[in-house]
Amino acid sequence: MSIPSPDTPDDIPAGIAYRDWAAVYDSNENRTRDLDASCLIAADLPLAGATVVEFGAGTGKNTAHLARQATRVTAMDLSPDMLARAHKRGLGDHVRFIEHDITGPWPVEPASADLVVGNLVLEHVRDLAPVLVEAAKALRPGGRLYLSELHPFRQLRGSQARFERADGSAARVEAYYHGVSEYLAAAQAAGLALLSLDEPIEHGATIGAETPPRLLVLQFVKTA
Ligand SMILES: C[S@@+](CC[C@H](N)C(=O)[O-])C[C@H]1O[C@@H](n2cnc3c(N)ncnc32)[C@H](O)[C@@H]1O
């Protein structure tokens, strides 16, 4: 279901919103983005020599981390403007950026990836199932899927991807609610078994009714 928004401007489709957000995505204050980046590093994924597929790579903040150790990174995103920023990072010839809508079939060889990574993307996707099916298809048996998303408790409190444009106006990006059970069911149906589930909060923060976990971080393994 989409997130109700009684007191805010109409949501902007992701394909349009990220055209504007690209210019300020890396520079705006964004605690979710920053926590996501530090959690990915802390996850200590098996990157050395790995073939990695990243979906919703955006400006490449996480691609840069993946590219440091991986042998090959295929990084997809819907937004040419976000990808243009990622390109500018000059991450090397082993990194391939592809403009692609991940709700359709992926331009990735089946069973070729050791690791599939998606951060802060699925909030913008109405139906998780086809995306997780494509992720599972890309993975070799024993390969791993790493997901990091805005925690559904935060979504229920009205949080969703939003930003301030360069001209100071506010924008909210089209978003959909996904509960924990929805992630788990979609993954299981795609042939992915749960390895870990974490609910990170910022350093120094405490969990409370007003401050639920910021992220939901899930790791799965492809079983067959
Ligand atoms: C909040 S940004 C996250 C970017 C990056 N993963 C990060 O953690 O900084 C969400 C990204 O998902 C991309 N995105 C949203 N819907 C998508 C879709 N259907 N297919 C591919 N990319 C999509 C957007 O273009 C945007 O770059």
Tens-digit pLDDT profile for residues 120-159: 999 999 999 999 999 999 999 999 999 999 999 999 998 8
Tell which atom from ligand 1 comes closest to the C-alpha of 103: 19
Query: Alpha-carbon distance 184 to 179, whole Å?
Result: 9
Does residue 12 line the site of ligand 1, with CB under 6 A?
no
Which pLDDT does position 5 carry in this prediction?
A: 47
In 3D space, the residue among 78, 125, 123, 102 whose CA is nearest the CA of residue 215 turns out to be 123
Tens-digit pLDDT profile for residues 30-71: 999 999 999 999 999 999 999 999 999 999 999 999 999 999
Q: What share of the chain is helix, strand, coil (3-state, %, to 5)?
A: 30, 25, 45
pTM of the full structure? 0.95
pLDDT mean over 72-91: 98
Does residue 60 line the site of ligand 1, with CB under 6 A?
no
Tens-digit pLDDT profile for residues 15-38: 999 998 999 999 999 999 999 999
Greater model confidence, 186 or 160: 186
Domains and CATH numbers, the chain: 14-212 (3.40.50.150)
Which pLDDT does position 7 carry in this prediction?
A: 45
Q: Are 187 and 132 in contact (CB under 8 A)?
A: yes
Please tell me the residue having the least CA distance from ligand 1 atom 20: 101
**53 phi, psi to nearest 5 deg:** -115, 125
Q: Are 105 and 134 in contact (CB under 8 A)?
A: yes
Which pLDDT does position 205 carry in this prediction?
A: 84
| Angular region, 44: left φ>0, alpha ψ -120 to 50, beta rest | left
Tens-digit pLDDT profile for residues 162-216: 888 878 888 899 999 999 999 999 999 999 999 999 999 988 888 888 789 999 9
Does residue 118 line the site of ligand 1, with CB under 6 A?
no
Q: Are 74 and 50 in contact (CB under 8 A)?
A: no
Which pLDDT does position 6 carry in this prediction?
A: 42
Does residue 216 line the site of ligand 1, with CB under 6 A?
no
CA–centroid distance, 212 to ligand 1, in Å, is 23
Does residue 134 line the site of ligand 1, with CB under 6 A?
no
Does residue 119 line the site of ligand 1, with CB under 6 A?
yes
Q: Are 153 and 213 in contact (CB under 8 A)?
A: yes
Residue 222's contacts (CB-CB under 8 Å, 6 or more residues apart) are 136, 139, 140, 141, 142, 143, 144, 145, 191, 192
Query: Alpha-carbon distance 148 to 160, whole Å?
Result: 14
How confident is residue 1, by pLDDT bands cut at 50, 70 and 90?
Answer: low
DSSP state, residue 22: T
Does residue 62 line the site of ligand 1, with CB under 6 A?
yes
Q: Are 106 and 132 in contact (CB under 8 A)?
A: no
CA–centroid distance, 79 to ligand 1, in Å, is 8
Does residue 18 line the site of ligand 1, with CB under 6 A?
yes
Does residue 37 line the site of ligand 1, with CB under 6 A?
no
Tell which atom from ligand 1 comes closest to the C-alpha of 83: 27
Q: What is the DSSP string of 156-177?
A: HTT---EEE-TTS-EEEB--B-
